[in-house]
Amino acid sequence: MIARALAEALEQRRRDNLYRQRHQLESAQGPTLVVDGKTYLAFASNDYLGLANHPQVVAAFTEAAVHYGVGSGASHLVNGHSREHHLLEEELAAFTGRERALLFSTGYMANMGTLMALLGQGDLVVQDKLNHASLLDGGLASGAKFRRYLHNNIDSLSKTLTLPGQRKLVVTDGVFSMDGDLAPLPEVAACAEAASAWLMVDDAHGIGVLGETGAGTLEHFGLDQNQVPILMATLGKAFGCFGAFVAGSEVLIETLIQFARPYIYTTAMPPAVAAAARASLRLIQSGHERRQQLQALIRQFRAGAGELGATLMDSDTAIQPLLLGGAERTMAVAAYLEQRGILVGAIRPPTVPAGSARLRITLTAGHSADQVEQLLAALAEALVRYPATATD
């Protein structure tokens, strides 16, 4: 009975053009990838600065692996917390202008652990409607009263914060992963302060890319630890590595060490990964030219897509969603681009709302202007071949 019910649900997903499939990557990250034995020009990676295969990052990983081995052996609170972990935490705290930082194995765990450690029954957590799934899941699992406000709508946030709660926490992405737009963080911070609420920002897609030194969305807006007490960011995107961290005050980090179950009960990331992230951090801090290159490619792509009449969402970040509407059309356009040797992400419900399926095109500093032109030329053909219909 169970197997039959599961099979029926899977078949329905196939009929709805919502079935997800994995592909086998056979090369290092870069502008071109070998996937399932075929070489593609790829616009589907979150390796925004092109550091995942940078020689200095690879060398740092290799050297640390020779010294520490591959595995960390245990959780941070047993004997898995290496000197590489400790130094990375100190450097991330300094980089983000916060008192301390704490490493987690994944961004999902960092968000779940933080929300579950800080909130409970009688509290109120208020989240942007388009927040990442890990933030939504963490809010629901915390036991606090969970409410969502309209995307980037300060009036909606303000009204929601009038609900009672012993502790009140506002949570938002800094850069929204499927839309590519920025949260209006100065206004969100002011609204949270007026309601005596804490503010937590997930800056997974802003860290390394935005801000004068690459310190992320908070640096971009000039916000400090008092205005945004809780910062979460990942090391698997612009850093090109793996893992995540939470940064904030001394008391926040000590609280997470004592009460964040995904931190306490998880094996620490390998020390070699921490060493690689330290090398990435140094490259980010000296990488103004990479950020300038990325911004130039973003402007080039948006201008070219505009000339094609493509419907781009309001994003000035490396995430450039091209709205197509229906899942069937989105899959057809993505498949056509794949036939032309170009790999992009096809995003459909339930990741995004029904009727807003899109290509999630991501640009990196490793791309060239010529490669962006190749993408635009293929898109021009695909949009003619698969025009919008009344159902899209």
Q: Are 243 and 299 in the same domain?
A: no
Query: Is 184 within a domain?
Result: yes
Query: Is 2 within a domain?
Result: no
Q: Are 40 and 94 in the same domain?
A: no
Contact between 25 and 325 (Cβ < 8 Å):
no
Q: Are 227 and 114 in the same domain?
A: yes
Give the model's pLDDT for residue 18.
86
Q: Are 274 and 129 in the same domain?
A: yes
Query: Is 219 within a domain?
Result: yes
Amino acid at 321: P
Task: State which of 253, 285, 317 marks the end of a domain.
Answer: 285
As for how many domains the chain has, the answer is 2
Domain that holds residue 348: 19-49+288-385
- Cα end-to-end distance, the chain, whole Å: 36
Query: Is 93 within a domain?
Result: yes
Contact between 172 and 227 (Cβ < 8 Å):
no
Q: Are 362 and 234 in the same domain?
A: no
Give the model's pLDDT for residue 357.
94
Q: Are 217 and 317 in the same domain?
A: no
Q: Are 264 and 345 in the same domain?
A: no
Residues labelled as active-site residues: 177, 205, 237
Query: Is 238 within a domain?
Result: yes
164: which 2 tokens?
Answer: 């009672």
3-state secondary structure the chain: CHHHHHHHHHHHHHHCCCCCCCCCECCCCCCEEEECCEEEEEECCCCCCCCCCCHHHHHHHHHHHHHHCCCCCCEHHHHHCCHHHHHHHHHHHHHHCCCEEEEECCHHHHHHHHHHHHCCCCCEEEEECCCCHHHHHHHHHCCCEEEEECCCCHHHHHHHCCCCCCCEEEEEECECCCCCCECCHHHHHHHHHHCCCEEEEECCCCCCCCCCCCCCHHHHHCCCCCCCCEEEEECCCCCCCCCEEEEECHHHHHHHHHHCHHHHCCECCCHHHHHHHHHHHHHHHCCHHHHHHHHHHHHHHHHHHHHHCCCECCCCCCEEEEEEECHHHHHHHHHHHHHCCEEEEEECCCCCCCCCEEEEEECCCCCCHHHHHHHHHHHHHHHHHCCCCCCC
CATH of the domain at 226: 3.40.640.10
Q: Are 26 and 77 in the same domain?
A: no
Q: Are 105 and 202 in the same domain?
A: yes
Smallest CA-to-CA distance from 281 within 106, 98, 90 is with 90
Q: Are 223 and 98 in the same domain?
A: yes
CATH of the domain at 330: 3.90.1150.10
Query: Is 392 within a domain?
Result: no
Task: State which of 230, 257, 285 marks the end of a domain.
Answer: 285
Give the model's pLDDT for residue 390.
66
Q: Are 195 and 113 in the same domain?
A: yes
Q: Are 355 and 216 in the same domain?
A: no
Query: Is 6 within a domain?
Result: no
Walk along the chain (392 residues) and give the pLDDT tens digit of each residue: 899 999 999 999 999 888 988 999 999 999 999 999 999 999 999 999 999 999 999 999 999 999 999 999 999 999 999 999 999 999 999 999 999 999 999 999 999 999 999 999 999 999 999 999 999 999 999 999 999 999 999 999 999 999 999 999 999 999 999 999 999 999 999 999 999 999 999 999 999 999 999 999 999 999 999 999 999 999 999 999 999 999 999 999 999 999 999 999 999 999 999 999 999 999 999 989 999 999 999 999 999 999 999 999 999 999 999 999 999 999 999 999 999 999 999 999 999 999 999 999 999 999 999 999 999 999 999 999 999 886 77
Query: Is 117 within a domain?
Result: yes
Task: State which of 251, 285, 319 marks the end of a domain.
Answer: 285
